[in-house]
Amino acid sequence: MHFSKEDFGTDFKWGVSTAAYQIEGAHDKDGKGPSIWDSFSQKKRKITNGHNGNTACDFYEHYSNDIALINELNIPNYRFSISWSRILPNGTGAINFKGIDFYNKVIDFCLELGIEPWITLYHWDLPDALQKKGGWANRQVINWFSEYVHCCIKYFGDRVRHWMVLNEPMVFTGAGYFLGVHAPGKLGLSSFLAAAHHAAMCQAEGGRILRSFQSDYRIGTTFSYSDIDPLRENHEKDRKAAIKMDALLNRLFLEPLLGMGYPAKDLKILQKIERFMLDGDEQKLAFEMDFIGLQNYTREKVCYAPLMPFIQAKIVKANKRKVEHTLMNWEVYPPSIYKALKRLNTYSSIKEILVTENGAAFADQVVDNEVDDKERLQYLQDHIAQVLQAKKEGVNVKGYFVWTLMDNFEWAEGFHPRFGLIHVDFATQKRIIKSSGKWYKQLLANQLP
């Protein structure tokens, strides 16, 4: 499908997304306290090749050049996160004003160049001081998070209008508190269910705090959301397994926010979350967001797995299915974003949807100071075309943000998978705009051939 920027309408938000720990570096500079990712990445065998985000893209020092590159690419909206431990080194209490100054400089420079800042309040980097008290598994996190949100509004809220409360709560609770493959590396059902409930509470509470300050804030939160299908369509046990996986991965945080409660009917183990609930919690889980952020990269195929604890289901990886995939071993399947948008649109209480992340990691090569990333370019074109198709069919999708501006620290995978529109040489911090970045620039200037 050929398309232009005009096909999406004048009020469609085009942007790019990043996250603090993945790009900032300066891990202990100017009073910043350690986050759970600072601690986790120092542990042996936790991160591919022993990488860490101590320096990453050094955005802390290069922010003005990098924001100038956003401007050069004609990108009008920039989504970035605040590092909680940069502004509150102990998670609560004393404020680090050098950290506040840094984000004020980022916000002010964006506005100076006509770029709209979109803040994600929490993108996975909990202050380590709070993890020592139990982190997301401790109900006190609701109070800690509330204090942090108030702090962000006090110092940034006069200029920032667009806010996202949490980034992909299913990922940071599931990978961090159940599987142990992400920070803080905790294992087990009990820590996961506690963390999940408290994150779901914070998701709504953050929205309420923002709304109480200013009625014209645009408030949302973001979810990883994939098309989930049974491996064998005509296999009853695979179909039931796919429903369970969908309840866990797609619906666990979305439906309580929408006032529907946890999807325990389709995943019985979620009934155990009740032991972490107090009177009134069910009502407090709900908040009417202005928009929902959809973060979609792939689809999942699920089969019945009787030995898999709690869920009796497992995802069958793309390489096992011998389908085209990215460096993350995620299937390249553009209709997934269309199907996810159509599905989200069936929830009548969702006002608007924005695609807040979509992108791909491939094996980029620098040749003569150029990066011709044909696979990523094709991926973006095909996925944006699917977004347009959904929009044409009546889905209220109001924006699209590429993941990500530049190659960065990709969590447990280290620096190996590159997602950026801009190539980063991590040894020299040299930036090179890739072919995909040049194409996005043309799209946003309405200059596509």
236, HSE (Cβ side, Cα atoms, 13 Å): 0
User: 168 catalytic, yes or no?
Assistant: yes
134: tokens are: 């139990």
How far apart, in Å, are the Cα atoms of 29 and each of 20, 26, 33, 212, 342? 14, 5, 9, 33, 45
Round to whole Å and give the CA distance between 203 and 289.
10
Catalytic residue among 168, 205, 375, 410: 168
Catalytic residue among 300, 331, 357, 410: 357
SS (H, E, C) the chain: CCCCHHHHCCCCEEEEECCHHHHCCCCCCCCCCCEHHHHHCCCCCCCHHHCCCCCCCCHHHHHHHHHHHHHHCCCCEEEEECCHHHHCCCCCCCCCHHHHHHHHHHHHHHHHCCCEEEEEEECCCCEHHHHCCCHHHCCCHHHHHHHHHHHHHHHHCCCCCEEEEEECHHHHHHHHHCCCCCCCCCCCHHHHHHHHHHHHHHHHHHHHHHHHHCCCCEEEEEEECCEEEECCCCCHHHHHHHHHHHHHHHHCCHHHHCCCCCCCCCCHHHHHHHHHCCCCHHHHCCCCCCEEEEECCCEEEEEECCCCCCCCEEECCCCCCCCCECCCCCECCCHHHHHHHHHHCCCCCCCCEEEEECCCCCCCCCECCECCCHHHHHHHHHHHHHHHHHHHCCCCEEEEEEECCECCCCHHHCCCCCCCCEEEECCCCEEEECHHHHHHHHHHCCCCC
Task: List, by residue number, the catalytic residues.
Answer: 168, 357
